Amino acid sequence: MKPTTPGRRHLSLVEVKLKGRPEKSLLAGVSHRLAGRNYAGRVTIRHRGGGEKRFLRIIDWKRDIEGIPGKVIRIEYDPNRSAWIGLIIYANGAKRYMLAPEGLMVGQTVMAGSQAPIEVGNSLPLSEIPLGMTIHNLELRPGKGAQMVRSAGQAALIQAKDEKGVNVKLPSGELRRFPLNVKATIGQVSNAAHKNEKLGKAGRRRHMGWRPAVRGVAMNPRRHPHGGGEGRSGIGLKSPKSLWGKRTMGKKTRKNKYSDKLILKDRRIKE
């Protein structure tokens, strides 16, 4: 951006050339904001509040209209996620929003099901997708809908396959085993340049619904375990603690989850 103000000097945005109002039949009203409060009105998540009103788009995570081709009508911006979304009209007249992969074009045809061709935007069971293919919108359990690899620019890689399951390398570096009949969509999630965005000023962060965060070392010792001391003291030799005195910043919290047996290589182990 041209540095006409201090806020625009370091502003870096993805140029959006997406047109069209959202499809009314696929909106679920204004997403309900609780500003970090629970049912009793007490703050349970700090640093939340304010923000612009957003319409909640209903995304088809299951891709359960199988064997019927759908045409991409337009690519849209969704304020609730980092990637773009595509509006699809199927041959039977049904309208759906799907997460748009990189390279999805207006007028393109997409399809779901085991008979769908191996093309960007098509959703198939892992058993039908060849090795070395990049995928996203990955299910954890058959029929539950996509839960993994959904943010901008992300892609997983199919590495191995046998009669019992499929080994998939996730964006974090973790190697994980999946059932043969879970679905995934071919391609990489759109808007890969999202990671290069810089907001430029605090006001844009407030528009997103985030309030300011105060560092623990800037507080007094009664407010935070990191507080106190003369001048700029830092955390020192103490182990980092949360506001409530619990270990944080690297403390492992995962304990004996049912899915531990499905993780073939931990994401922290470097190659």
Q: How confident is the model at residue 46 (pLDDT cuts 50, 70, 90)?
A: very high
Average pLDDT over residues 39-61: 92
* pLDDT computed for residue 252 by the predictor: 85
pLDDT tens digits along 102-126: 999 999 999 999 999 999 999 999 9
Averaged pLDDT score across all residues of the chain: 91
Going along the chain from its start, the domains and CATH numbers come out as 6-194 (2.40.50.140), 215-271 (4.10.950.10)
* pLDDT computed for residue 187 by the predictor: 95
* pLDDT computed for residue 271 by the predictor: 62
pTM score of the predicted model? 0.85
Percent of the chain with pLDDT over 70: 99
* pLDDT computed for residue 231 by the predictor: 87
* pLDDT computed for residue 240 by the predictor: 92
What residues contact 179, with CB distance under 8 A and at least 6 apart? 126, 141, 142, 165, 166
Average pLDDT over residues 177-182: 94
What residues contact 104, with CB distance under 8 A and at least 6 apart? 72, 75, 86, 110, 120, 121, 187, 190
